[in-house]
Amino acid sequence: MRRQWSNTRGLRSPRALAALAWLGLSGLAFSATAQESEASAEPANGNLSGIEIEVSGEARRTLLPMAVPDTLARGGADPELARQVAQTLRRNLDLSGYFRVLPVDSFYFDTHTEGLAAADISFSNWMNVGAQGLIKSSVRAEGDQIALDLRLFSVDQGRQVSLSWSATTVSPDEVQAQVNAFINAVIAHYTGEPGFFGSRIAYARRDRSGAKHVYVMNIDGSGVQRITRNNAINLLPSFGPGGAVYYTSYQDQNPDLWVWRNGRVSKLSSRSGQNSGAAYCGGKLALTLSLGGDNTDVYLINPDDGAVVQRLTDHWAIDVSPTWSPDCSRIAFVSGRSGGAHIYLMNADGSEQRRLTFQGTYNTTPEWSPRGDRIVFSGRDERNRYDIFAVDLQGNIERLTQDQGNNFEPSYSPDGRYILFTSDRGGRGKRLWLMSADGMVQKLLTEEGSGYEEAAWER
């Protein structure tokens, strides 16, 4: 059982939802919604039963057994590229949380003798290894381009499934993006909504010198790019329009707000004291400022020149960490005005401020779901452990992590079905993890190194 805070009024445990499938499937097994066409690309039966997998305690849900044999290298294509394609398919399908990717060593026959057409596939062999879905893939060199062919098959029907993605010829640098687009199409076929692959995150990471830098990378761990080049502490990244990244930096001995746009950095707000926790929405930029004093409040500033537009909070207590509702009409924030750190709500103009959380004594780093119905945050429990919680707009709270180290700084995926967060579980330092929005499935995202913090998902 997950422990609740000592005061459990208004708390709801996701255990009661254990029979529901992950990420909003609401008890429905994978339902195919893709439009089907050619006889050679018939739909899979959308009502696939999958298998039951214990995910968290007594919680169980359905996973679809998916076979992903090695990618075929044809026409002089680099075998290493083929290996990378297969590796990306397996890892990202597993990371999505919808599939049980079958181990390659369970394939008792030579998969390399099969082609990519349904007539060239022994579906009985794939059925015998327990596969319900099958992905076949090949790369072929065509001059300096790569012909990429990826196909999904229904094993029990012995037919190819029609997807929104189709075979394409691209440069080697574009192969990864196309593989992710195919995976998103596979997820859309089974769930009705595409996956998140191809989206980006920003995060802070400390190096051995003690400096802390801000990076961006694709959600699958590829395309890592460092955007700060000083030897200072840089933290609290968040995304703005056009791929801009806001962050706070101490490079000039004050926590100033900087912005990275198109490879260039510039200072946006450098008032004495705090300039931190920037949150952008619909042309508005909310920011925590202390204006040279010890107390912090939430302000709106001009995202182009940093000029103060409006002061939203004016209280003797600390007010920090603004986060916008999806329609930019409301802001959630953290305030100490009740004696401990709690989540509060207000309108975008600062009116109608009200307390949302009443459990716990230290609730921080809120983020509003893109679906508008919940806010996730980090909370400290009665054992002084930090965990991730979600609260609806009526104040009902779910605990999403427990008994797995300390868990901090949640950030929603663009579709609201996943949550990115930092955890020190496993004794290997702070790493980034990914979980379903109900907390039932949690997977390690950053497999190499540690020191990852303050991750934010681009929307």
Q: Output the pLDDT for position 171.
A: 97
**What SS3 class is residue 105?**
helix
End residue of a domain, out of 134, 162, 190? 190
CATH number, residue 360:
2.120.10.30
Q: Output the pLDDT for position 44.
A: 40
**Taking the chain, what is the end-to-end CA distance rounded to the nearest angstrom?**
34
Same structural domain, 166 and 214: no
In a domain, 310, yes or no: yes
Same structural domain, 400 and 264: yes
Mean pLDDT of 301-306: 97
In a domain, 41, yes or no: no
Domain count, the chain: 2
- Residues 40-58 have pLDDT tens digits of 344 443 444 444 443 444 4
With pLDDT > 70 as the criterion, what percentage of the chain qualifies? Answer: 87
Helices (H), 33-134: 79-96, 123-128
Same structural domain, 170 and 249: no
Same structural domain, 233 and 178: no
End residue of a domain, out of 140, 169, 190? 190
Q: What angle do CA 269, 275, 276 make, to 5 degrees?
A: 125
Phi, psi of 146 (to 5 degrees): -120, 125
In a domain, 85, yes or no: yes
Radius of gyration of the chain (CA): 24
Same structural domain, 230 and 176: no
Distance between CA atoms of 128 and 436, rounded to whole angstroms? 31
- Residues 194-222 have pLDDT tens digits of 999 999 999 999 988 889 999 999 998 88
Q: Output the pLDDT for position 55.
A: 43
- Residues 389-425 have pLDDT tens digits of 999 999 999 999 999 999 999 999 999 999 999 999 9
In a domain, 30, yes or no: no
End residue of a domain, out of 166, 190, 214? 190
In a domain, 13, yes or no: no
With cut-offs at 50, 70 and 90, classify the pLDDT of residue 62.
confident
In a domain, 35, yes or no: no
Using N-to-C axis directions, what is the helix angle for 79-96 and 175-191, rounded to 10°?
30
Q: Output the pLDDT for position 3.
A: 44
Q: Output the pLDDT for position 57.
A: 43
Same structural domain, 114 and 175: yes
Q: Both tokens of residue 73?
A: 């290298």
Same structural domain, 143 and 218: no
Same structural domain, 223 and 298: yes
pLDDT at 19 > cutoff 80: no
Query: Containing domain of residue 73, as a range?
Result: 64-190
Q: Both tokens of residue 142?
A: 């065509």
Quote the pTM value: 0.85
In a domain, 431, yes or no: yes
Taking the CB of residue 101, how many other CB atoms lie within 10 A of it?
22
Same structural domain, 146 and 246: no
Q: Both tokens of residue 358?
A: 């009443």
Distance between CA atoms of 362 and 365, rounded to whole angstroms? 10
Same structural domain, 315 and 365: yes
Listed residue (282, 281, 242) closest to 259, CA to CA: 242
Long-range contacts formed by 242-246: CB under 8 A, 24+ apart: 243/200, 243/458, 245/202, 245/214, 245/216, 246/278, 246/280, 246/285
In a domain, 293, yes or no: yes
CATH number, residue 167:
3.40.50.10070
Report whether 152 contacts 189 (CB < 8 A).
Answer: yes
Listed residue (132, 184, 254) closest to 413, CA to CA: 184
Q: Output the pLDDT for position 61.
A: 64
Same structural domain, 157 and 212: no
Q: Both tokens of residue 391?
A: 């609260």
Same structural domain, 159 and 238: no
Distance between CA atoms of 206 and 68, rounded to whole angstroms? 36
Q: Output the pLDDT for position 10.
A: 38
